[in-house]
Structure 1
Amino acid sequence: MNNILLIEHSLSDKSDLGQQLSEQGYSVHRVNNAFDALVYMETTQLEAILLDYSVPKMDSFWLLVTRKPSTAIIVLADSRCELERINALELGADDYLAKPINIRELQLRLNVLHRRLQAPMNDNFNHDISFDDTSYTIRFAEKSLVLTQTEYSLFKYLFDRQGEVITKQELQRRVLHKELGRFDRNLDMHISNTRRKLVKRNLPRELINTVRGQGYSFNF
């Protein structure tokens, strides 16, 4: 049976989502804090974690960074808050769904993430990487990644400085050619989109690493 960990803000009410998943054959365990979630994660083989982003943000952060690589995390986010969804992807979520949740769509996304995470990774791709500045394509051995012009420029800039932590301010000025505003999330959105494309091509999203409070770095 597929095990799902459902992390909700409150356990006082009956979970409609938990009930729907149970009816579809999933074994659902509900918690409302990071400690209980981490304990369950250590003792149970999970297919996925469904994280309601209304759970306190520090709890959300630790869950996202400590989960096992083979376990997908889908964040359940407020459909009216774009910043909330971007933050979730920045912290390492594999996907997000806007509330209210459609159970059929959730099942389809769980299936897609399961196939991606179970697919074998080519460990030799990092020894053969090339850039096509005309088509904005990056080639990793037998795989290719097509990006937008901005995504491509960001990826290449980080690659050329691999191992260094590049501040958001520098990336904003040198690649996006403007100053970083206080509430400007444009850079983060480009990075998030690039990571999602990496995952879709069965490439590690961790190539672009978030250095909390500083910026980004490229790491093989």
Structure 2
Amino acid sequence: MSESLGGGNGLRVLVVEDDPSLQVMLRYNLEKQGYRVEVAGDGEAALTALTAFRPSFVLLDWMLPGSLSGIDICRRLRAMPGGHELPVIMLTARSEEVDAIRGLETGADDYLTKPVSMATLEARMRALLRRTQGPSELLHFEDIVLDLVKHRVERGGRSVQLGPTEFRLLEFFMRRPGRVFSREDILRSIWGENIHVEIRTVDVHIRRLRKEINGLGERDLIRTVRSAGYALDSEGE
């Protein structure tokens, strides 16, 4: 086991996993850290738990018995009221990069390949939970307003629904407008120095951020700089 997550403080974690041995291992270790844990063994049970248990964090297996896969559950979760703000880590036996990217594009914030290392899982959970917290302040850029306390984003007065990673990514850019950051810079700043994440993960989250903040007729304020990276820029694309 790795160092503690710092105490779960009763935070509710929904584990969606059909493997009984993995269920037991995850429940034991998470409860040991102070989390309240609910386990769902299939997609239907997961949908019920999302409403009844109201988790603060979801660990979601890709392959589930029955007609609903982890991908299906993630799509439905993101469509629920407040679902964009719920951190989701997908657990998958698939090791191909294309599968990981598909999971991220569906709405997962992160992914881990089985067998799951608790040390790695704890590190990823810590990083993701840090990205959902922030100091008390508003950030402004052009017609975008980011509220770090209420975890809300508006553009031109309309509400913008962002997942935890996209929210942290937008905050990162809004604190440094006009500056170009490489994918490596973004990985280190958003995910941390000691967590291995594929470089293409940055592109996936940039696409998702663009899709959400750019409404019909609105300028794309995220500029892609060939061979250099990305910037939040008034000139945009």
TM-score range, shorter chain: 0.5 to 0.7
Question: What displacement does 1:39 show?
Answer: 2.9
Aligned partner of 1:207 in structure 2 is 210
TM-score (norm 2): 0.53
Aligned partner of 2:202 in structure 1 is 193
Shift in CA distance, 73/97, structure 1 to aligned 2, threshold 3 Å: same
What CA RMSD, in Å, does the superposition of the two structures yield over aligned residues? Answer: 3.5
Question: What displacement does 1:34 show?
Answer: 3.3
Aligned partner of 2:100 in structure 1 is 85
Residue 61 (1) aligns with residue 61 (2): no
Residue 3 (1) aligns with residue 23 (2): no
Percentage identity across paired residues of the two chains = 25
Aligned partner of 2:86 in structure 1 is 71
CA distance in structure 1 between the aligned counterparts of 2:137 and 2:206, rounded to whole angstroms: 15
CA distance in structure 1 between the aligned counterparts of 2:90 and 2:54, rounded to whole angstroms: 19
Say if 2:58 and 2:88, in contact at 8 Å, map to a contact too: yes
Aligned partner of 1:142 in structure 2 is 175
Residues 95-138 of structure 1 show CA distances to partners (whole Å, capped at 9, x for unaligned) of 1112111112211221211121122684633427xxxxxxxxxx
Amino acid in structure 2 at the alignment position of 1:143: R
CA distance in structure 2 between the aligned counterparts of 1:48 and 1:15, rounded to whole angstroms: 17
Point out where structure 2 has 5 or more consecutive residues left out of the alignment.
1-9, 145-171, 184-198, 219-237
Question: What displacement does 1:18 show?
Answer: 2.2
| Residue number among 137, 141, 165 corresponding to 1:125 in the alignment | 141
Amino acid in structure 1 at the alignment position of 2:50: M
CA distance in structure 2 between the aligned counterparts of 1:141 and 1:81, rounded to whole angstroms: 33
| Residue number among 46, 55, 66 corresponding to 1:46 in the alignment | 55
SS of 1:69 mapped into structure 2 = helix
Question: What displacement does 1:141 show?
Answer: 4.9
TM-score (norm 1): 0.57
Residue 27 (1) aligns with residue 36 (2): yes
Amino acid in structure 2 at the alignment position of 1:61: R
Say if 2:15 and 2:60, in contact at 8 Å, map to a contact too: yes
Say if 2:15 and 2:23, in contact at 8 Å, map to a contact too: no
Aligned partner of 2:123 in structure 1 is 108
| Residue number among 22, 25, 41 corresponding to 1:16 in the alignment | 25
SS of 2:29 mapped into structure 1 = helix
Say if 1:5 and 1:29, in contact at 8 Å, map to a contact too: yes
SS of 2:85 mapped into structure 1 = coil
Q: Matched residue pairs, number?
A: 158
CA distance in structure 2 between the aligned counterparts of 1:126 and 1:34, rounded to whole angstroms: 42
Question: What displacement does 1:23 show?
Answer: 2.4
Point out where structure 1 has 5 or more consecutive residues left out of the alignment.
129-138, 150-188, 199-204, 210-216
CA distance in structure 1 between the aligned counterparts of 2:21 and 2:174, rounded to whole angstroms: 52
Amino acid in structure 1 at the alignment position of 2:17: E
